[in-house]
Structures are given as structure tokens and as C-alpha cells.
Amino acid sequence: MAQDPFSGNVVIITGASRGIGRELAFQLAQQRATLVLAARNGEQLSNVAQLCRKKGAQQVICVPTDVTDEEQCKHLIEETIATYGHIDTLLLNAGEGRPRRFEALTDLTDLKGEMALNYLGVVHCVFYALPYLRQSRGRIVGVNSLSGLIGIPGTTGYNSSKHAARGFFNTLRAELQGSGVTVTVIHAGAISTDRLRETMGEMMDKIPTTTPERCASIIIRAAAARKRQVIMTVPGKLLPWINMLVPSLLDRMLNSIRYQ
């Protein structure tokens, strides 16, 4: 594989303002990619863009976007085409969840919001980008979670949205066979972002975590190799097997996880 497979590659990154997305932007900048940074917070995006330029990105634009809004996703793709003329890689990283057991919900607002962000946010961007990705024989890369593979108690909204996104990516991949467009899905384990610390509190110190830097480098390598799927970490790889062979044991194990 070329040393810098994303050199000159036009890459859209959603959720680029912090966490894993910001790290993806930095590492792609080091490979001299041409970047489009999207998230809602324009000020944070501008800061990330400035650092990306210093790290070697060929060009960077910021397009403040709420991916739950279809029109804003259409605008994101139109701005990219107006600026660079084509899209090589769509890196769908924007996402988050608010852990709460289903019976603790007082209404369905948060759960619907998680579906809008983690599932529809992906669908909106792919819908408008796909004609251009077909032209470039490009890459679609989804940052998913172990939550997209198994049921983790306390995260019904997040889990179901990540399951839905996995179903979407797997179906799309099959439909795109022979088109030259590839779909890579990354099932990340726990990544030590500020967000995870806010969500899990001290519990984060009791579980194995991966740094955002390492996570981004795994995503970029998998995308470069156009892999179908990566399940991060050895325990992560085992979980779907345990789920298939002894699901009730897995339910008991996972039920011991408590968020703050």
C-alpha cells in the first residue's frame, strides 16, 4: 500500500470538531489529504482546520452541519463539489449517545434524537454523496461501535441506532458490488475521548480503552485497504461469538455495566 494513501484524496469527515473525528482530521492532514470538516460547532471546526493546515493538509474547508437535518447534509455535499469538484471518501463519524435504561426514559425525545443522529445522519450524507462517490469509485467509511453488534444494557437508543446504521451499511455494500465504491464499517470499543469520560465517569478507568489516536489510525488503515469491517480489540471480537453461543451469559455480563 502507498505510504500516504490519502494524499490529495478529498475526504469529508463528519463530527470533526472533537474526539475521534478531530484525530482523524489530524492524521489525514499528515497524509496531505484535502479535507472537508463538518460538525455543528463552527468555531471548534475552525480551530481543527487551522491545526490541519499546519500538519500538512493540502486544503481544508469547514462546513458547519447538523447531520440530523437532511437539507444541511445536501448543502455539505454541494459545498464540497463546488470547492473541490469531486469526493473520494465520506467518513461518517458524527455520533453520540445518552446512556439510560429504557424504563428510565420519561419520554422518547433522546431515543429519537439518537436515531436521527447515528442512523439518519449517516443516511442523509450517503444519499447526497453517493452519485459523486460512484464517479470517483470512492470510499464510504462508517464509525460504528460494539453497540452496533450486541445489545448493551443502558443504551437502548444508541444501540438501536448503531444497529440500524450497521444494517444500512451492510445492505448498501451488497447493492454497490461491482460499482467500485466500497463500504468499510468500524466497530470501535471504548475510546478514551472526553465524551466517554463525561458519560462513564470513574467507570471508564475500570474498562479497557483505546486512545483516539490509535482508533483513528486503525480507521484510516482499514479505509485505505477498503476493508469490509473491523471489530476493534480482542474482547470486542469475542463478544459477537459469545452472543451467538451463550447469549444469556453475555446479557448477565453486560448487565453489570453501570453508567453514572
Residue 68 and residue 118: Cα distance in Å, rounded? 9
Using CB under 6 A, pick the residue from 9, 17, 155, 182 that binds ligand NAP: 17
CA atoms within 13 A on the CB side of 170: 12
95 counts as binding ligand NAP under rule CB under 6 A: yes
DSSP element (H, E) containing 259: none
Could you give the CA distance from residue 192 to residue 204 in angstroms, rounded to a whole number? 8
Q: Is 21 in the site for ligand NAP (CB under 6 A)?
A: yes
Site string for ligand NAP, 207-246 (x = CB under 6 A): ----------------------------------------
The secondary structure of 186-233 as a DSSP string is EEE--B--HHHHHHHGGGGGGS--B-HHHHHHHHHHHHHTT-SEEE-S
* CA separation for the pair 27, 220 (Å, rounded): 8
Q: Quick check: 163 and 184 in contact, CB under 8 A? A: no
Q: Does 65 bind ligand NAP (CB under 6 A)?
A: yes
Does 70 engage in binding with ligand NAP (CB under 6 A)?
Answer: no
Cell numbers placing 82: 463546488
User: Using the rule CB under 6 A, is 68 a contact of ligand NAP?
Assistant: yes
SS3 33: coil
- Residue 158 among the catalytic residues: yes
- 230 — phi, psi (to 5°)? -130, 130
Amino acid at 178: G
The pattern of x and - marking residues 141 through 160 that bind ligand NAP according to CB under 6 A reads --x-x---------------
**27, 31, 89, 93: residue in contact with ligand NAP (rule CB under 6 A):** 93
Contact letters (x/-) for ligand NAP, 173-202, by CB under 6 A?
Answer: ---------------x-xx-x-xx------
Binding to ligand NAP by residue 46, rule CB under 6 A?
Answer: no
Residue whose grid cell is 447538523: 66
Closer to ligand NAP by CB, 87 or 186: give it: 186
Q: Which residue is nearest to ligand NAP (CB)?
A: 19
Amino acid at 66: D
By C-beta, is 181 or 219 nearer to ligand NAP? 219
- The catalytically annotated residue of 84, 119, 128, 158 is 158
Size of the site for ligand NAP (CB under 6 A): 29
**3-state secondary structure (DSSP) of residue 101:** coil
* Interaction site with ligand NAP (CB under 6 A): 14-21, 39-41, 44, 65-68, 93-96, 117, 143, 145, 188, 190-191, 193, 195-196
User: Which residues are annotated as catalytic?
Assistant: 158
